[in-house]
């Protein structure tokens, strides 16, 4: 295997080079519009989309922007967002995992069965549920890479298989109530306002540290850096969002532990994908697998590990869902969970073609797709209408992604 030198801040394979508008790090309004159209300002696009969605639902239903409903929204997206973190990794490879919903349901069933029927403690039961997810990911990833079978076929078969296993674990009753207080507290714990503000301060410090550190690393590597003003605006906007969110949550029950868990997962996997060699290998494989292989990257190993991580995160989402719903049933992991877990990152800018996007899309995408679902619930829309609207939003996001990819290809920037 040949050695590879990886610059942590250089554009990843598959990522576009700096455009003329970036020559001096300045971004003109015209250049900003072009980047929005090309999907290079995914976070800005999502924030604009979120503002539009919140405006529409606020006009239609007064309760939408209340502190109580926004707190419920955070609790609702915790499980989906956690599953989406793993989905992002798979999408970065240009692959798909259709089994994450079923894996989350099976993991929840294992958790409930071990805790309620077998008398296991909460920690071993949670660890066993996560281990089940990891083993499923290892199995599916190995089948996909070693036998060279498309991932959507392997995971589609897994979807049916793990749904059957879930029914087997649940047994004849079909539903197991979760009564363990420690498991319930994963989504039932709310921090005092003072602790909430401390957590907010830590988040703001991490955002500032990451932004300044990125500038420093790019400067040290001889790469172009954005203007200080742009960095200050980005950090200031993030800080304002964190402060407003904390104030809203404190106005109701406080910052929920489930939100802290989701943000911790996003931060950890953001670090993994942007600051480690393995993370750069994910982008390299997703951008051009053959080029990555020629560069000495073990493509099969990277893909297998990503599927292990994705299934483990799906299991973690299943644990959070069981905690919030206080029960696991035959419908757990079913319904529109799979669609929402995949749609969120795609809507937030993760390309279905691989190599583009970031883990933060899991959080932003879950917020967008969760807001749509929450708003439609408040309006009392029929399930048929909700499915059609959610599917339409996903289709629109995919069309935008495909269009942006074609524009970049026409300009020779893919």
> DSSP assignment of 297-322, as one string?
--HHHHHHHHHHHHHHHHHHHHHHHH
Averaged pLDDT for residues 243-263: 94
What is the C-alpha radius of gyration for the chain, rounded to an integer number of angstroms?
Answer: 21
| Encoded tokens for 278 | 């393995």
Is the pLDDT score of 386 beyond 50? yes
The DSSP letter of residue 17 is P
**pLDDT band at residue 227 using 50, 70 and 90 as cut-offs:** confident
Nearest to 355 by CA among 64, 90, 175: 90
What was the pLDDT predicted at 18?
44
Average pLDDT of the residues in 258-286: 94
pTM: 0.87
Q: Is 136 exposed, middle or buried (0-12, 13-18, 19+ CB in 10 A)?
A: buried
Q: What is the pLDDT of residue 29?
A: 63
Three-state secondary structure call for residue 21: helix
- What local confidence, expressed as pLDDT, does residue 262 receive? 95
Predicted confidence (pLDDT) at residue 20 exceeds the cutoff of 70: no
What would the two tokens of residue 35 be?
């980047």
Taking all residues of the chain, what is their mean pLDDT, rounded to a whole number? 86
Give yes or no for residue 124 having a pLDDT over 60. yes
pLDDT at 353 over 80: yes
**pLDDT band for position 10 (50/70/90)?**
very low
Q: Give pLDDT, residue 336.
A: 82
Least-confidence region, from 111-115, 329-333, 393-397: 393-397
**Which positions ≥6 away from 285 have C-beta within 8 Å?**
93, 292, 297, 299, 302, 303, 354
For the chain, percent of residues with pLDDT exceeding 70 = 88
Question: What kind and span of H or E run contains 396?
Answer: helix 383-410
Burial of 282 (0-12, 13-18, 19+ CB in 10 A): buried
Whole-angstrom Cα distance, residue 215 to residue 25?
11
pLDDT grade for 30, boundaries at 50, 70 and 90: low
Q: Is the pLDDT of residue 146 over 60?
A: yes
For residues 68 and 75, the answer to whether their CB atoms sit within 8 Å is: no
For 135, phi then psi, to 5°, come to: -65, -40
How confident is residue 21, by pLDDT bands cut at 50, 70 and 90?
very low
27 pLDDT tier (thresholds 50, 70, 90) = low
Q: What is the mean pLDDT of residues 207-233?
A: 84
- 43-47, 104-108, 365-369: which is most confident: 104-108
Phi and psi (nearest 5°) for 298? Answer: -80, 90
């Amino acid at each position: 295997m040949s050695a590879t030198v990886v610059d942590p801040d250089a554009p990843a394979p598959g990522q576009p080079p700096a455009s003329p508008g970036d020559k001096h790090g300045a971004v003109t309004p015209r250049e900003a519009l072009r980047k929005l159209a090309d999907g290079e300002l995914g976070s800005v696009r999502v924030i604009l989309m979120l503002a539009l969605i919140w405006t529409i639902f606020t006009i239609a239903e007064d309760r939408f922007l209340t502190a109580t409903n926004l707190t419920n929204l955070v609790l609702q997206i915790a499980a989906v967002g956690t599953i989406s973190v793993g989905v992002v990794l798979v999408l970065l490879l240009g692959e798909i995992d259709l089994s994450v919903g079923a894996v989350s349901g099976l993991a929840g069933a294992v958790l409930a069965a071990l805790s309620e029927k077998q008398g296991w403690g909460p920690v071993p039961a949670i660890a066993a549920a996560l281990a089940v997810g990891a083993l499923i990911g290892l199995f599916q990833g190995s089948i996909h890479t070693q036998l060279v079978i498309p991932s959507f076929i392997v995971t589609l078969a897994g979807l049916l298989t793990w749904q059957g296993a879930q029914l087997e674990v649940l047994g004849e009753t079909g539903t197991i109530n979760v009564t363990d207080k420690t498991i319930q507290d994963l989504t039932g714990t709310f921090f005092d306002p003072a602790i909430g503000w401390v957590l907010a301060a830590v988040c703001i410090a991490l955002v500032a540290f990451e932004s300044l550190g990125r500038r420093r690393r790019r400067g040290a590597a001889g790469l172009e850096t954005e203007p200080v003003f742009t960095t200050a605006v980005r950090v200031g906007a993030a800080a304002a969002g964190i402060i407003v969110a904390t104030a809203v949550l404190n106005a109701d029950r406080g910052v929920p532990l489930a939100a802290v868990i989701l943000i911790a997962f996003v931060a950890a996997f953001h670090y993994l994908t942007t600051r480690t060699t393995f993370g750069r290998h994910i982008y390299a494989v997703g951008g051009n697998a053959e080029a990555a292989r020629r560069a000495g990257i073990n493509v099969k190993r990277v893909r297998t590990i990503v599927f292990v991580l994705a299934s483990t995160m799906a299991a973690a989402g299943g644990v959070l869902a069981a905690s919030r719903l206080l029960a696991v049933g035959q419908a757990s992991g079913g319904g529109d969970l799979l669609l929402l877990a995949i749609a969120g990152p795609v809507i937030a800018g993760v390309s279905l073609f691989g190599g583009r996007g970031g883990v933060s899309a899991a959080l932003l995408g879950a917020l967008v797709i969760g807001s749509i679902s929450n708003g439609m619930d408040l309006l009392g829309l029929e399930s048929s209408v909700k499915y059609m609207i959610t599917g339409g939003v996903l289709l629109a996001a995919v069309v935008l992604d495909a269009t942006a990819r074609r524009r970049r290809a026409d300009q020779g920037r893919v």
